[in-house]
Amino acid sequence: MAGQLKEVRNRIKSVQSTQQITKAMKMVSAAKLRRAQDAIIQMRPYARKLQEMLSNIVSNADGDLSIKLAEERPVEKVLFIVITSDRGLCGAYNSNIVKLARLTIESKYMAQYKKGNVAIWNIGKKGFESLSKTGYKTDAAHKDIFLNLTFENVQAAAQAAMKAFESREFDAVEIVYSEFKNAATQFFQCESFLPIPKVQKKEGAKKADFIFEPEKDALIAELMPKILNTQLYKAVLDASASEHGARMTAMDKASENANELLKSLKISYNRARQAAITTELTEIVSGAAALQG
């Protein structure tokens, strides 16, 4: 009986120690989430407007403009930029992103995958570890971006993807990431990065009449890479906020589960103590009765 009590006490101490860790991690994630959330909220309207403007320009070019980054060609080679986190303990966040990447490959690019023509560039260590173990062609050149998350580091990855597309190393580039909504909700997205997607024109819609200053070719050649850099940076900021939100939620649930487990363990401990006391009393009474007899 004494051994059972000691075992339950040890389990209670272990759960309490774990709960302290989960509460501390929740507080750290909450602080990081506020900063990441502010960054993406400020960035999102700007990035969306730039993307809308870029798509409109491409859609209304009508062949009068040579835009290499918008060139649609038969898709033989595909690049996926998969954005996950560097660390775990954030629920199903990373596994959902990896799952979406794999499902997209299987449903959309299976023929290219069978030929070995699907490559994956990872941003974040967890995605790299998971996908490289399952036989995908992964590249770790940009996986450490979250160690120093700056626009310049993300820009380097975006420019490398643009260069690879222009040189026909890839015919399509897709971004897989998590779009942040709030701490408890993330939307897992697979978006086309290259070629630049066109806006679907509505019937009877008028062609947008843009005034270009300076010359159209020079302006678009300068503008397009900058807008694409911004698009990837927005996706990385979304992923950063999503990661901290997912981790904060996961640690909050873990702390709640620890509370429930502590309640159960304390009930078990009290029952064991009562049983031990009852046994001792029974033994005392039996001994006293034997002496009297």
Query: What secondary structure, in 3-state letters, does the chain show?
Result: CHHHHHHHHHHHHHHHHHHHHHHHHHHHHHHHHHHHHHHHHHHHHHHHHHHHHHHHHHHCCCCCCCCHHHCCCCCCCEEEEEECCCCCCCCCHHHHHHHHHHHHHHHHCHHHHHCCCEEEEEECHHHHHHHHHCCCEEECCCCCHHHHCCHHHHHHHHHHHHHHHHCCCCCEEEEEEEEEEECCEEEEEEEEEECCCCCCCCCCCCCCCCCCCCCHHHHHHHHHHHHHHHHHHHHHHHHHHHHHHHHHHHHHHHHHHHHHHHHHHHHHHHHHHHHHHHHHHHHHHHHHHHHHC
Active-site residue, selected from the candidate residues 15, 58, 90, 183: 90
Whole-number Å distance between alpha carbons of 65 and 238:
33
In the residue annotation, 90 being an active-site residue is answered as yes
Whole-number Å distance between alpha carbons of 94 and 222:
35
- What residues are labeled active site? 90
